Structure 1
Amino acid sequence: MAGGADVSLLENMPLFQGIELDCIKRLAAAATLRAYPPKTQLFEEGETPEALHIVLSGVAEAFTRIGEKECSILILSPSDAFMPASALVNEPYLLSARTMKRSKLLLLPADVVRDEMARSTKLACRLAHLLAGQTRVLLRHIKDVKTRSAPQRLAAYLLRIAEESESRNSEVLISKQTLASRLG
């Protein structure tokens, strides 16, 4: 569906809770909803972001590729946003992204998000909170890779996935190859 999203869809998303209705209406009017089959490339590392991608359903992966080697960096589930820093500061993506299974995404034009951030302190704070959360996830990952053995990384990651699945009432299933790549 192109040309807008239902205002109630955005109002019910954690990222937009407490945001002014006028702001939500403008974002919803500019939004695009898209469904993607598994293994669809969403964007490539080095591209300039045109939209802020938010997972509505399904699972997606942010990864990097050097030559023939790929490394999974983040697994994104419903309500997660892809690489928001790139969209917010209009800088090229540092990672690529693809769907891991059938997924539905909300795409918000990056320029509209930046304009609304300038208008809405609440939106700016919610996006800062999102960035802080993703920074913590990435720092935990770096810390795990640098300080834990492979079995310790696997155990810690499986515990985190179990806790997240329980708190979200959802399952995240990933291949052994993705798991091995994610854990180094």
Structure 2
Amino acid sequence: MTFINNAATPEKLITLLSTLPRLAGLAPQVLESLVQGAQQREHRSGETLFREGAPAQHWLLIEHGCVEVVRYGLEGQELVFHCFLAGQSVAEAAMFMEHGRYPMTARTRGATAVWQLGRDAMRRTCERHSELAIRLLEDFSKRLYRYVNEVQWLTTSNAPERLAAYLLRLPSTQQGEITLPLSQRQLAAYLGIRAETLSRLLADWQSQSWLRGHRRSWTLLNASPLRDLAYGSTRPF
């Protein structure tokens, strides 16, 4: 079930948008133009927010919860590309795609509240305010560069190297605690390795006291050997 909060204030949304690094510091009238027609929506876990191939009419800003974007193979296998958390935006690049369709499916994981912002408002604001357009181009370029590097890494690395690099990229506490945003089955598919291989690697690394945990909750006990494995995953710029 989806709850639409028509009483939500644009000022609240503008404050949230101003926390995005690529939008921080923009003039108030730019953000006010972006939020025209926006709606706040609350979803239960597992609800689909948009489907691959559907007309891309909205992009999302997550107020709380989690949104995962997925694609399905020809045989129906599911691949989770990314999990977006509170304070992050989803699908703004789709607002500028020539075919005008979403390239992936988005769904909620857990109770989630999002702001739905319009494609037309985004494009009009970019036409009127070049600073916003340039900032978005810079952000899209940064993401493209990161994805190019990831593709190269995935095609030239082995399973231990890929898993080590992935674990080190995750946010961690001072105690080294990390949470996998994907199930182990989904993570194995994302890394292009067998689920059995992923399970074996985690068990081996636990036996060597590199990490400790189970399922999605882990603690990095000795990150040094993981950094050695992941050395080639980073670029100098």
- Whether the 8 Å contact between 2:35 and 2:121 is mirrored in structure 1 is no
Q: Which of 116-125 and 26-35 deviates more?
A: 26-35
Q: 1:134 to 1:54 in 2, by over 3 A?
A: farther
2:72 aligns with 65
- CA deviations over 1:73-92 (Å, ceiling 9, x no partner): 22222333223222123521
Match of 2:125 among 113, 116, 119: 116
Match of 2:89 among 81, 84, 88: 81
The CA distance in 2 between the partners of 1:181 and 1:115, in whole Å, is 39
The CA distance in 2 between the partners of 1:126 and 1:142, in whole Å, is 24
TM-aligned CA deviation for residue 48 of structure 1: 1.6
1:1-184 maps to which residues of 2 (within 5 A)? 1-2=5-6, 5-6=10-11, 7-66=14-73, 67-89=75-97, 91-162=100-171, 173-184=181-192
- Whether the 8 Å contact between 1:46 and 1:94 is mirrored in structure 2 is yes
Question: How well do the aligned residues superpose, as a CA RMSD in angstroms?
Answer: 2.4
SS of residue in 2 equivalent to 1:56: strand
Task: Tell me which protein shows more helix as a share of its residues.
Answer: 1
Aligned length: 180
Report which of the two structures shows the higher radius of gyration computed on alpha carbons: 2
Specify the code of the residue in structure 2 equivalent to 1:158. L
Q: What residue ranges of structure 1 are gaps of 5+ in the alignment? A: none
The CA distance in 1 between the partners of 2:29 and 2:141, in whole Å, is 25
Q: What residue ranges of structure 2 are gaps of 5+ in the alignment? A: 193-237
- Whether the 8 Å contact between 1:35 and 1:102 is mirrored in structure 2 is yes
The CA distance in 1 between the partners of 2:21 and 2:180, in whole Å, is 19
SS of residue in 2 equivalent to 1:30: coil
TM-aligned CA deviation for residue 114 of structure 1: 0.4
TM-score, normalization by structure 1: 0.84
The CA distance in 2 between the partners of 1:84 and 1:28, in whole Å, is 13
TM-aligned CA deviation for residue 172 of structure 1: 5.7
- Whether the 8 Å contact between 1:23 and 1:116 is mirrored in structure 2 is yes
The CA distance in 1 between the partners of 2:23 and 2:136, in whole Å, is 9
Q: 1:24 to 1:135 in 2, by over 3 A?
A: same
Q: Identity rate of aligned residues, in percent?
A: 24
The CA distance in 2 between the partners of 1:57 and 1:125, in whole Å, is 28
TM-aligned CA deviation for residue 47 of structure 1: 1.1
